[in-house]
Amino acid sequence: MNKKIRVGILFGGRSAEHEISLLSAKNVFEAIDKKKYEVVLIGIDKKGQWFLNDTSRFLLRADDPKLIKLSKTSKSTVLVPGGKGAKQLVNLQSGQSVRPVEVIFPILHGPFGEDGTVQGLLKLADIPFVGASVLGSAIGMDKDVMKRLLKEAEIPIAKFMVFERSSENKINFINIKNYLGLPFFVKPANLGSSVGVSKVKNKEQFEQFVKEAFEYDNKILFEEYIKGREIECSVLGNEQPIASVLGEVIPQHEFYSYDAKYIDENGAILKVPAKLPPRLVKKVQELAIRAFEVLCCQGMARADLFLKCNKVIVNEINTIPGFTKISMYPKLWQASGISYTELIDKLIQLALKRFKQEKKLKTSYGNKK
């Protein structure tokens, strides 16, 4: 009998997307192949403290997306980076090490988890992890940098404007309206799941929505409203990524908001596969893979695109997409013939393969060790 691989599922976190992460972790834990993997649950609370969680009861009110909460234990934990054999979790109360994990599956959305911070820690700890590495994660989180790189690669995107908090006094409704038209979106540059995103229809709403966006980030984005079909494509792989069948999102709310994505099961109609002619499907898939590669992604990502008069426009890439039961990333792979359990397995194996390749690289000059 083969030895089980010890997988740490890392979830929760300090961002405004904490609850989404809990929902995603619940679904991954339930779907992972327990015959092949031994699961270690590592929950991060909203203050950033790490806990080892009991697999039998790691969430409170798990069936209610609005009230779901991390069940904290007394096992406050830290991941120790360092030399040989340092892939270990240490109990802060006893000071004793816990049996090491062999790979981490981070299901952290937003800042302090999806932005390269945790990925950097895991690289220092010399442990494999699922998903994009430090650079790809950081790029994928910052919508401003992401869009500039896509534009440089001549990948079609919507028009946008960016303002830092330090230049807040230069934000002018008339200038933005003249460039982007009405309505337009305002959103935090470094956040996902439509948190802090508002659709501006008139000047009366403008100041309040700008204020709300600045509550989540010191840099905000104003973006052109594209009136078209919302198409999503899941991408999987490292050197030779593949694209899933396409899905179409038809929001039943004002737009594909946080509630529509995670709270209201009737918040959007999800058409999988999307009804599109084969040549257009191929075009979208090729563009999704190209964006994945341009933005230095690895492992997994979900590409969000718009389709307007047969013109494909890339909206953004999500490097740790939602894994809830109504999330598009796993749904699209299920429709492509890869089950939820198989998908988790493939992602873990991609992480282990990348780690093995990186270990072959020299870390010193010449023949020195």
Task: Parse the chain into domains and list their residue ranges.
Answer: 5-129, 159-224, 227-356
% helix, strand, coil for the chain, step of 5? 30, 25, 40
Contact 313, 305 (CB under 8 A): yes
Summarize pLDDT for 127-147 with one digit per residue, the tens: 999 999 999 999 999 999 999
> How many Cα atoms are found within 13 Å in the side-chain-facing hemisphere of 98?
22
pLDDT value at residue 263: 53
236, 351 contact by CB (below 8 A)? no
Q: Measured at the alpha carbon of residue 276, what is the angle toward residues 150 and 245, in degrees to the nearest 5? A: 65
> Quick one: tokens of 353?
């393969």
Query: Higher model confidence: residue 17 or residue 349?
Result: 349
Distance CA 158, CA 16 (A): 25
The CATH architecture of the domain made up of 159-224 is 2-Layer Sandwich (3.30)
pLDDT digits (tens, 9 = 90+) for 140-177: 999 999 999 999 999 999 999 999 999 999 999 999 99
Classify 161 as helix, strand or coil: strand
Domain 227-356 is in which class? alpha beta
CATH code reported for the domain at 5-129:
3.40.50.20
Half-sphere exposure of 19 (CA within 13 A, CB side): 18
Q: Give the helix/strand (H/E) hosting 221.
A: strand 219-224
* Fold match, 5-129 / 227-356: no
**Whether the Cβ atoms of residue 159 and residue 308 lie closer than 8 Å to each other:** no
Q: Give the span between the Cα atoms of 272 and 96, in whole angstroms.
A: 49
Separation CA 292–CA 78 (nearest Å): 32
Is 300 in contact with 292 (CB distance < 8 Å)? Answer: no
55, pLDDT greater than 90: no
- Cα(220)–Cα(162) distance, integer angstroms: 6
Residue 305: the pLDDT is 97
pLDDT by residue (tens digit) across 199-243? 999 999 999 999 999 999 999 999 999 999 999 999 999 999 999
- Residue 261's pLDDT is 53
Q: Distance between CA atoms of 61 and 29, rounded to whole angstroms? A: 16
Q: Measured between alpha carbons, how far is 30 from 59 in angstroms, rounded to an integer?
A: 13
CB hemisphere CA count around 331 (13 angstroms): 19
What does the mean pLDDT of the chain come to?
88
Does residue 282 sit in helix, strand or coil? helix
Query: What is the arrangement of strands in the sheet containing 219-224, beginning at the earlier edge strand?
Result: 160-164, 219-224, 184-188, 198-200
Question: pLDDT (tens digit, 9 = 90+) per residue, 235-288?
Answer: 999 999 999 999 999 876 565 555 555 555 666 788 999 999 999 999 999 999
Q: What is the DSSP string of 14-31?
A: SSTTHHHHHHHHHHHHHH
Q: What Rg do the C-alpha atoms of the chain give, in angstroms?
A: 21
Q: Which of 32, 35, 13, 192 shows the shortest CA–CA distance to 107?
A: 13
User: Which pLDDT belongs to residue 269?
Assistant: 83
H helix intervals, 68-190: 117-124, 134-141, 143-152, 173-180
User: Tokens 């995103």 correspond to what residue?
Assistant: 197
